[in-house]
Structure 1
Amino acid sequence: MNKIGIKATALGAIFNTVLFFAKFYVGISTNSLSIYCDAINNLGDTFACLIAVLGFFLARKVTELKSQKIQSLCTFVISLIIAATGAYFVYNGLQRLMYPLRIAYSEEYAYIIIATVFAKILMGLMYMAFNKKASSPVLKAMILDSFLDCAVTIFALMGLFLITKVNFAADGIFAIIIGTAVTVSAVKNTIEQSKFLINN
């Protein structure tokens, strides 16, 4: 089970790093806060995957209960990282509303972001396939995060597009919506894993 987990999360770290650089490039090039925040979200996912790799590695030679505790602890830490990322989105969204900046939109950038949505869908399906082979709370968290990220990226793309149509800091609003959704989901997962750690 742990070998499967290591393989799944190691691949996730690689893919999320690629997505981070792609979105970071678009975010900086367009000056879009929502895309930039989405890039940081992928960077957080990369660190989360690396923590998961470490957790699966440490859980290789322990009892089943200890292995579950290690995985649950990793999921707890991952959720904290995601929650912090979500709060960062909200903070930056509020700043953008107060200090709006000019956005540079182009179809080329939009296509790159659309491609990253499909990439995240494939990652979610990959985690699902690995989880069927060896069920793990870590992989389940990764599945949820992958599909949530698809929605996050779609919202970010909408923010990038809408800012060209209205004279308003729309990407700031979308960053706040994205941040709130990410934070709420992560906090729920944190509470769930903390209950498991306390009761076992």
Structure 2
Amino acid sequence: MLSKFLVTNFIKDYNNISDEKVRNSYGYLGGIVGIIANILLFIVKIFVGFITNSIAVIADAVNNLSDAASSIITIIGFKLASKPADAEHPFGHGRIEYISGLIVSFMVMLVGFEFIKTSFKRIINPTNINFQLMPFLLLLVSILTKIWLSYFNKYIGKTIDSSALQASSLDALGDVFTSSCVALSLLASKWTSTPIDGYVGVLVSIFILYSGFSLTKETLDPILGEAPDPELVKKLIDGVCSYDYISGVHDIIIHNYGPGKAMASVHAEVPCDISVMKIHEIIDTAEKELSEKLNIFLVIHMDPINTNDEKVNSTKNELLKIIHNDFPIIKSIHDFRIVGDNDFKNLIFDIVIDYEHVLTPEIEEKLKKDLDNAIKTIHPHYNAIITIDRDFTSLK
């Protein structure tokens, strides 16, 4: 209820999330709420930490301070990522959002390393913990606050499809776990002199390190060029194939230039005997409509294929049967055609191999030779000219 209240009262035209300004407003709101909440939690926990002399509570407080700094960097990231395209960056500055997330993850890991050292010192040189009811109750309130903050970030992140804010939601949920452990260690100090505080501090620090490592991976993957979202790939394939005369697609490549900023290219199979002007009009329409529908910049290349030749179709079916029975490594084929006279023919086609299979030049040549020999067992006068393609999607 509070999340909806904040969105409806502080974001103008909040339903129009396809608008970049509205999307940025969601990001700013998430960042500002994160800053305010985490600074308040830092003040409460640092007070409790000094009152109780608990290193675990102080570590948890500093973790909240780093979360506030993370929110500041998130806001800066949204601001810089929204800069318009220019001559040096024709696809915009959207990847800055990933870089800001990477900075946040390094800050999180730095906090974890520092408090591992401090916690070990507390284990070696234990000190008494001063349990008091009011500071303990303040910790419980901070846990409830983090639960709400996790929900709020998840709500915002899902609304605008922001991996940065959804990661913040998971980070806040992780803080709920660590703060709960800290509260339990503080409570346990009433009945034991064992330096539980130091041990819990180590556990909290390890969890902080793990969170930082996970955030690093999540922000590095799109920068390095991760496989596109399978759901987007499926929508793209279904969308392109829904247009008249397009019978199939291949060579799908999607480049990510930041959240909501992607470029895709795809080869569409069309009949070879159709008017060039007619199929160009269909392709042009598909590019414009799908670019708007899927929020991508789409380029479609036309691949003419012979769909009416009975010999071509029967030979292709024979090839597909050979591949199905003897070459499971091959995911699909495309651009199949037959060139030559009656005495000698070339079968020209591409085969697609996914990245689960490691191919060296030697293995590739052997694969081509084995497939060519398998075809010759049926058609001795056919010569296979094969191109090996890689699948650039994660779609199975």
What TM-score comes out, normalization by structure 1 length?
0.94
| Counterpart-to-counterpart distance in 1, 2:173 and 2:101 | 17
Supply the AA of the counterpart residue of 1:132: K
Gaps of 5+ in 1: none
What is the CA distance between 1:70 and its match in structure 2? 1.2
Taking the TM superposition and a 5 Å limit, the aligned residue runs for 1:44-123 are 44-62=66-84, 66-123=92-149
| Counterpart-to-counterpart distance in 1, 2:119 and 2:215 | 24
SS of equivalent residue, structure 2 residue 190: coil
Q: Which has the higher mean CA deviation after the structures are superposed, 15-24 or 124-133?
A: 124-133
- 8 Å CA contact 1:75–1:137 kept in 2: the answer is no
What is the CA distance between 1:52 and its match in structure 2? 0.5
Quote the residue 1:172 is aligned against. 198
Q: Which has the higher mean CA deviation after the structures are superposed, 1-10 or 18-27?
A: 1-10
Quote the residue 1:25 is aligned against. 47
Residue 126 (1) aligns with residue 148 (2): no
- 8 Å CA contact 1:71–1:136 kept in 2: the answer is no
What is the CA distance between 1:128 and its match in structure 2? 1.5
| Counterpart-to-counterpart distance in 2, 1:178 and 1:127 | 22
Quote the residue 2:63 is aligned against. 41
What is the CA distance between 1:66 and its match in structure 2? 4.5
Quote the residue 2:294 is aligned against. none
Query: Identity percentage over the alignment?
Result: 24
What is the CA distance between 1:15 and its match in structure 2? 0.8
How many residues end up aligned between the 2 structures? 200
Supply the AA of the counterpart residue of 1:8: G
Residue 136 (1) aligns with residue 136 (2): no
Quote the residue 1:13 is aligned against. 35
1:65–1:85 distance in 2 versus 1, CA, 3 Å: farther
1:8–1:67 distance in 2 versus 1, CA, 3 Å: farther
| Counterpart-to-counterpart distance in 2, 1:52 and 1:149 | 18
Please list every run of at least 4 consecutive aligned residues from structure 1 whose deviation after the TM superposition is greater than 2 angstroms.
61-68
What is the CA distance between 1:49 and its match in structure 2? 0.4
CA deviations over 1:94-117 (Å, ceiling 9, x no partner): 010111111110111110000000
Query: Match for 1:192 among 204, 218, 221?
Result: 218
The CA RMSD measured in Å over matched residues stands at 1.6
| Counterpart-to-counterpart distance in 1, 2:40 and 2:144 | 13
Supply the AA of the counterpart residue of 1:160: L
Q: Which has the higher mean CA deviation after the structures are superposed, 13-22 or 57-66?
A: 57-66
What is the CA distance between 1:193 and its match in structure 2? 1.7
SS of equivalent residue, structure 2 residue 59: helix
What is the CA distance between 1:65 and its match in structure 2? 6.0
SS of equivalent residue, structure 1 residue 103: coil
Larger RCO, structure (CA 8 Å, separation 6 or more): 1
Q: Which has the higher mean CA deviation after the structures are superposed, 25-34 or 72-81?
A: 72-81
What is the CA distance between 1:67 and its match in structure 2? 4.7
Quote the residue 2:177 is aligned against. 151
Query: Match for 2:207 among 171, 176, 181?
Result: 181
| Higher-Rg member (1/2) | 2
| Counterpart-to-counterpart distance in 2, 1:187 and 1:37 | 18
Gaps of 5+ in 2: 1-22, 226-255, 257-396
Supply the AA of the counterpart residue of 1:149: D
1:198–1:132 distance in 2 versus 1, CA, 3 Å: closer
| Counterpart-to-counterpart distance in 2, 1:176 and 1:101 | 16
| Counterpart-to-counterpart distance in 1, 2:201 and 2:171 | 17
What is the CA distance between 1:181 and its match in structure 2? 1.4
What is the CA distance between 1:89 and its match in structure 2? 2.1
| Counterpart-to-counterpart distance in 2, 1:25 and 1:191 | 34
| Counterpart-to-counterpart distance in 2, 1:186 and 1:131 | 19
What TM-score comes out, normalization by structure 2 length?
0.49
Supply the AA of the counterpart residue of 1:156: V
| Counterpart-to-counterpart distance in 1, 2:152 and 2:221 | 28
What is the CA distance between 1:69 and its match in structure 2? 1.1
1:67–1:138 distance in 2 versus 1, CA, 3 Å: farther
As a proportion of its length, which structure holds more helix?
1
What is the CA distance between 1:121 and its match in structure 2? 0.6
